[in-house]
């Protein structure tokens, strides 16, 4: 109920605040990645690799050209953080999978996002739940227009 008494923010104010949070989080992520010798792009790829993913699928997720992914995966593979596997059902496809080392390194990167962890720790359970619900509402719309 504490919320309902506040003055409504301008849409522009809200937009700007959201941008600031996004920027801060990105910095946090990039810094943690750099700490492990990863560029932010490389870390982003590792973060996507829950299961095997074809090169093309990676390109789609990263919203970039497929030829770009070749180089990124090359560099990750050289460090043995990732492996290319032949797809059994389509010989054109190469599936990228994270190695144990790859999974471990991205886990640590997430752990070391101190600014973000610290910020979330300032919320109590109710606030966390509220934020989670609100962001969850935004998510589908924000991800829809991906093109």
Spatial separation of the C-alpha atoms in residues 46 and 24, rounded to whole Å: 20
Residues 57-76 that bind DNA (CB under 7 A): 57, 59, 62-75
Applying CB under 7 A, the span of 18-26, 56-64, 109-117, 122-130 interacting with DNA comes to: 56-64
Beta strands, E only, 29-106 = 53-54, 82-86, 94-98
Residues 8-37 that bind a second copy (CB under 8 A): 8-9, 11, 13-15, 17-22, 24-31
Applying CB under 8 A, the span of 50-58, 65-73, 96-104, 118-126 interacting with a second copy comes to: 118-126
- Minimum Å gap between C-beta 53 and DNA is 9
Spatial separation of the C-alpha atoms in residues 68 and 10, rounded to whole Å: 39
**Whether the Cβ atoms of residue 11 and residue 74 lie closer than 8 Å to each other:** no
Side by side, the strands of the sheet bearing 53-54 are: 53-54, 94-98, 82-86
Applying CB under 8 A, the span of 72-80, 82-90, 93-101, 109-117 interacting with a second copy comes to: 109-117
- Bridge partner residues of 41 (DSSP): none
Interface residue list for DNA (CB under 7 A): 39, 41-42, 54-57, 59, 62-75, 84, 87, 90-95
């Amino acid at each position: 109920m504490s919320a309902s008494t506040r003055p409504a923010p301008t849409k522009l104010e809200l937009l700007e605040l959201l941008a600031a949070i996004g920027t801060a989080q990105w910095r946090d992520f990039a810094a943690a990645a750099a700490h492990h010798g990863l560029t932010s792009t490389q870390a982003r790829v590792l973060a996507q690799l829950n299961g095997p993913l074809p090169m093309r699928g990676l390109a789609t997720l990263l919203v970039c050209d497929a030829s770009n992914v070749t180089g990124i995966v090359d560099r990750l593979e050289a460090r043995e953080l990732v492996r290319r596997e032949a797809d059994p059902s389509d010989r054109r496809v190469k599936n990228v999978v994270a190695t144990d080392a790859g999974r471990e390194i991205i886990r640590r990167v997430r752990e070391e996002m101190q600014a973000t962890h610290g910020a979330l720790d300032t919320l109590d359970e109710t606030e966390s739940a509220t934020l989670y619900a609100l962001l969850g509402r935004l998510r589908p719309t924000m991800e829809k227009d991906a093109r």
